[in-house]
């Protein structure tokens, strides 16, 4: 027993051996400021170093029997780490064989001193809680539209006493646009999430909406501003700069309800009395965290829901196979539009004659005619596979990709009239015989967005042509006689919807190597179809078979269920979990040995990687997740702390990597 209170501290360190709570004495001089959640500086035992960390808890008695060091400094009195977020970080890290500090590094933004001091002063002046919504603001929020849900479902989601299973929903959103007000249009599914979140805030609880990227986030922010006051909205994305992100994070910390919006890290944001978590388009790869420990936003949302006992919605135009698995095991209940109300996407594969110029050679006559007729009444959208002019040049005789002589990178044409050059190093690629067939003729594999727009501009000289891709981003397009050529995911919104949507390059998109190709294509195409006007044709060019049939009959959910059944037979995710283990051959063998002794676990590999290491993919039943994560984490710690090694351990583990089973794509 010690007379001084004890702080239990999590060190901000990626070292797995430090991923535990360490105990420090709290000196009398810091006792008033050293509260749970504050940032600290503490000494480490080795080398007289100082480390940053968080005070997780205070206890009266230490569990360590030796002499404890004292806290060196309380960085700020702002209690930036809430118990809920720490529990989430701990559970997520344990599930992924990672460290809690890695996840907190994503969840808690870097400190912005001036913003934090101003916030603390404002909180003190407002009595630490701040004002609540006024009755008028509550009335507006309670009336926010949620067009994809009926009143009974909304009531259950908002009722904290309802059965947990009834408050977990997989929403297949209607593929149509709705007007949010003041000229703002957005997909009905997104409007539903905003409306439900606004009602949750009006009822005295916080809500979190996480979306894939800034385009969706801007739509959510604009719609939320119509039904909630700005003080009730906390935007926590990094896209607007470190200062604005920190300001939004601090607002979310306050003891009053807020709508927290952001990209994938929004799921880890603090939220007072959390009542709802909503994830939009969970199949989008942008929801997969690239930084350690690499936990997907969907998995974080599931953990957060379980901890907070709040409502949960996974909403999308095309549910992912992961969501389908949760439905089939009874964890989520589905809310879907009636089949008669689902958007029909008509496949068309009959092309015009090969002598037709430019873009017409890629567009069947029926699709060309539909676009021409629709253009007389409003904008037409053409979705293409690739940005740029001619992003990939191939041999005209055998189709072999042309490679750079300097670095072996892919060769393309950046703009009209430019010489072919390497997309990696920029070197000019002079004409040379094909390395496979010795042919000397070249062609574009798939014309990019810029070239397609150029060709369509010549075909429709009176129309305005707009390119929307990563380099030419457009959020919205004004109505009029306009052709919009957009890459997948970059399609702008038009008030009232496009008068026709053509989905080009479908055969190429579906021919990619990868486990989730069907999931991705259904998502890309149905997201684009949702931007069409209610009576507008949506045409899929160049694909037939099961995918085309599912889109034409409104049975994409059944196709995803069939995909999941195939993966279950083959033991592929998401029917099973996976863990990718990379490192030297001895490290990987040592890590795999105890894991493969468990029932319900097998491994593919190890195989050599391009950087001289080896990789193995462990496949495991969900029931084995805790055991496998424990064993692999122990292997990482053992490798990191081995005294005999002369160099740093290279052993790395990543659970549930969505790209683990994808072949290396030939760019």
Report the CATH number at residue 314: 3.40.50.300
Write the pLDDT tens digit of every residue in 141-180.
999 999 989 888 898 988 888 888 889 999 999 999 999 8
DSSP assigned state of 69:
P
Mean pLDDT, rounded, for 127-131 = 61
In a domain, 618, yes or no: yes
Residues 35 and 66 in one domain: yes
State how many domains the chain has: 4
Residues 201 and 273 in one domain: yes
DSSP assigned state of 143:
T
Helix (H) or strand (E) holding 215: helix 214-227
For residue 121, pLDDT beyond 50: yes
pLDDT bucket at 404, cuts 50 / 70 / 90? confident
* Nearest-angstrom CA–CA distance, 102 and 311: 27
pLDDT given at position 469: 86
For residue 653, pLDDT beyond 70: yes
For residue 361, pLDDT beyond 80: no
* Nearest-angstrom CA–CA distance, 103 and 639: 21
Helix (H) or strand (E) holding 421: strand 421-422
How would you class 438 by CB atoms within 10 Å of its CB: exposed for 0-12, middle for 13-18, buried for 19 or more?
exposed
Q: Residue 32 contacts by C-beta under 8 Å, 6 or more apart in sequence? A: none
* Nearest-angstrom CA–CA distance, 210 and 74: 32
Name the nearest CA neighbour of 295 among 448, 96, 437, 461: 96
Residue 14, domain CATH? 3.40.1440
Mean pLDDT, rounded, for 382-398 = 80
Write the pLDDT tens digit of every residue in 56-82.
999 998 888 788 999 999 999 999 999
Q: Residue 237 contacts by C-beta under 8 Å, 6 or more apart in sequence? A: 214, 217, 245, 248, 261, 262, 263, 265, 266
Last residue of a domain, one of 532, 565, 598: 565
The encoded tokens of residue 300 equal 């974080």
For residue 358, pLDDT beyond 50: no
Residues 352 and 336 in one domain: no
Q: Residue 620 contacts by C-beta under 8 Å, 6 or more apart in sequence? A: 576, 577, 578, 579, 598, 600, 601, 628
pLDDT given at position 331: 96
Three-class SS state of 534: coil
Q: What's the domain range around 604? A: 577-655
Could you give the C-alpha distances from 123 to 46, 149, 254, 402, in angstroms and in order? 39, 37, 8, 62
Mean pLDDT, rounded, for 126-147 = 83
pLDDT given at position 664: 38
Write the pLDDT tens digit of every residue in 177-221.
999 888 889 999 999 999 999 999 999 999 999 999 999 999 999
CB of 169 closer than 8 Å to CB of 219: no
CB of 112 closer than 8 Å to CB of 75: no
pLDDT given at position 667: 34
Name the nearest CA neighbour of 627 among 607, 652, 655: 655
pLDDT given at position 269: 97
Residues 514 and 531 in one domain: yes
Mean pLDDT, rounded, for 301-320 = 96
Length of the chain: 667
pLDDT given at position 164: 84
Helix, strand, coil % in the chain, rounded to nearest 5: 35, 20, 45
Mean pLDDT, rounded, for 615-635 = 96
Mean pLDDT, rounded, for 385-400 = 78
- DSSP assignments along 554-568, one per residue: T-HHHHHHHHHHHHH
Could you give the C-alpha distances from 646 to 16, 17, 47, 465, 650, in angstroms and in order? 19, 18, 20, 61, 12
Query: For the chain, what percent of residues have pLDDT higher than 90?
Result: 65
For residue 401, pLDDT beyond 80: yes
Residues 435 and 497 in one domain: yes
pLDDT given at position 367: 86
In a domain, 599, yes or no: yes
* Nearest-angstrom CA–CA distance, 579 and 283: 19
Three-class SS state of 574: coil
For residue 663, pLDDT beyond 70: no
In a domain, 92, yes or no: no
Residue 649, domain CATH? 3.30.70.1710
Name the nearest CA neighbour of 235 among 247, 227, 223: 247
Q: Which residues, in sequence order, are bridge partners of residue 616?
A: 581
For residue 132, pLDDT beyond 80: no
pLDDT given at position 611: 84
In a domain, 87, yes or no: no
Output 542 or 309, whichever has higher pLDDT: 309
Could you give the C-alpha distances from 250 to 80, 87, 110, in angstroms and in order? 8, 19, 12
Residues 224 and 271 in one domain: yes
Helix (H) or strand (E) holding 313: strand 311-316
Residues 337 and 396 in one domain: no
Write the pLDDT tens digit of every residue in 461-484.
788 889 898 888 889 998 889 999
What is the average pLDDT score of the chain?
Answer: 89
In a domain, 326, yes or no: yes
Residues 66 and 214 in one domain: no
Phi/psi at 195 (5° precision): -65, -45
Last residue of a domain, one of 341, 371, 386: 341
Helices marked H in 386-515: 449-459, 506-510
pLDDT bucket at 1, cuts 50 / 70 / 90? very low
pTM summary value: 0.90
For residue 46, pLDDT beyond 50: yes
In a domain, 591, yes or no: yes
For residue 359, pLDDT beyond 60: no
Phi/psi at 299 (5° precision): -65, -40
Write the pLDDT tens digit of every residue in 241-253.
999 999 999 999 9
Residues 166 and 20 in one domain: no
Could you give the C-alpha distances from 343 to 48, 531, 533, in angstroms and in order? 65, 11, 11
pLDDT given at position 444: 73
Residues 380 and 482 in one domain: yes
Per mean pLDDT, which range of 410-419, 478-487, 594-603 is the poorest? 410-419
Residues 264 and 131 in one domain: yes
Output 529 or 150, whichever has higher pLDDT: 529
Helix (H) or strand (E) holding 105: helix 100-107
pLDDT given at position 30: 96
Residues 236 and 371 in one domain: no
Mean pLDDT, rounded, for 590-608 = 95
Helices marked H in 537-623: 546-553, 556-570, 585-596
Phi/psi at 334 (5° precision): -95, 145
pLDDT given at position 184: 85
Last residue of a domain, one of 534, 565, 596: 565
Place of tokens 């001084």: 4
């Amino acid at each position: 027993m010690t007379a001084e209170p004890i702080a239990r501290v999590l060190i901000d360190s990626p070292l797995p051996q430090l991923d535990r709570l360490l105990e420090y004495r709290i000196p009398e001089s810091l006792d008033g400021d050293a509260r749970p959640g504050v940032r600290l500086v503490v000494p480490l035992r080795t080398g007289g170093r100082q480390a940053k960390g968080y005070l997780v808890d205070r206890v009266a008695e230490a569990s360590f029997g030796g002499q404890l060091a004292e806290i060196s400094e309380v960085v700020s009195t702002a209690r930036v780490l809430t118990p809920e977020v720490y529990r989430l970080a701990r559970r997520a890290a344990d599930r992924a064989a990672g460290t809690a500090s890695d996840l907190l590094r994503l969840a808690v933004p870097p400190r912005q001193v001036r913003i934090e001091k101003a916030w603390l002063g404002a909180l003190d002046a407002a009595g630490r809680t701040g004002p609540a919504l006024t009755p008028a603001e509550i009335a507006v929020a309670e009336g926010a539209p949620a067009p994809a849900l009926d009143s009974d479902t909304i009531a259950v989601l908002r009722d904290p006493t309802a059965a947990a299973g009834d408050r977990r929903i997989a929403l297949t959103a209607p593929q149509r646009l709705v007007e949010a007000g003041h000229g703002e249009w957005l997909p009905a599914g997104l409007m539903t999430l905003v409306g439900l979140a606004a009602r949750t805030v009006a009822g005295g609880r916080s809500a979190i909406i996480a979306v894939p990227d800034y385009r969706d986030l801007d739509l959510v922010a604009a719609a939320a501003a119509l039904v909630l006051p700005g003080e009730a909205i906390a935007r926590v994305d990094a896209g607007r700069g470190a200062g604005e992100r920190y300001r939004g994070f601090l607002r979310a910390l306050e003891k009053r309800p807020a709508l927290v919006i952001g990209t994938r890290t929004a799921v880890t944001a603090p939220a007072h009395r959390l009542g709802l978590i909503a994830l939009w388009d969970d199949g989008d790869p942008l929801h997969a965290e690239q930084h350690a420990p690499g936990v997907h936003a969907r998995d974080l949302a599931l953990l957060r829901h379980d901890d907070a006992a709040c409502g949960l919605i996974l909403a999308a135009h095309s549910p992912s196979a992961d969501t389908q698995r949760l439905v089939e095991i009874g964890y989520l209940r589905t809310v879907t539009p009636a089949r008669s109300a689902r958007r029909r996407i008509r496949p068309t594969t009959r092309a015009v004659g090969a002598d037709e110029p430019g873009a017409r050679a890629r567009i069947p006559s029926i699709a060309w005619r539909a676009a021409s007729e629709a253009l007389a009444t409003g904008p037409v959208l053409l979705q293409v596979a690739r940005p740029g002019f001619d992003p990939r040049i191939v041999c005209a005789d055998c189709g072999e990709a042309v490679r750079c002589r300097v670095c072996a990178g892919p060769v393309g044409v950046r703009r009209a009239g430019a010489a072919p050059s390497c997309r990696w190093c920029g070197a000019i690629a002079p004409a040379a015989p094909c390395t496979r067939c010795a042919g000397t003729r070249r062609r574009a594999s798939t014309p990019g967005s810029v070239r397609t727009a150029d060709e369509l501009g010549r075909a429709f000289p009176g129309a305005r042509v707009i390119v929307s891709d990563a380099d030419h981003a457009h959020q919205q397009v004004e109505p009029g006689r306009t052709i919009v050529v957009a890459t997948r995911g970059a399609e702008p919104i038009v008030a009232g919807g496009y008068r026709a949507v053509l989905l080009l390059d479908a055969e190429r998109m579906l021919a990619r190597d990868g486990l989730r190709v069907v999931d991705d294509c259904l998502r890309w195409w149905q997201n684009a179809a949702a931007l069409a006007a209610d009576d507008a044709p949506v045409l899929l060019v160049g694909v037939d078979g099961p995918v085309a049939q599912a889109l034409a009959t409104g049975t994409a959910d059944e196709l995803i269920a069939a995909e999941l059944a195939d993966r279950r037979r083959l033991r592929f995710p998401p029917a099973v979990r996976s863990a990718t283990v990379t490192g030297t051959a001895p490290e990987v063998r040592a890590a795999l040995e105890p894991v493969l002794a468990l029932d319900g676990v097998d491994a593919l590999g190890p195989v050599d990687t391009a950087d001289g290491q080896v990789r193995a993919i462990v496949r495991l039943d969900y029931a084995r997740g805790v055991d496998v994560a424990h064993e692999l984490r122990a292997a990482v710690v053992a490798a990191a702390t081995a005294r005999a090694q002369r160099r740093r351990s290279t052993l790395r583990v990543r659970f549930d990597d969505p790209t683990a089973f994808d072949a290396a794509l030939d760019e």
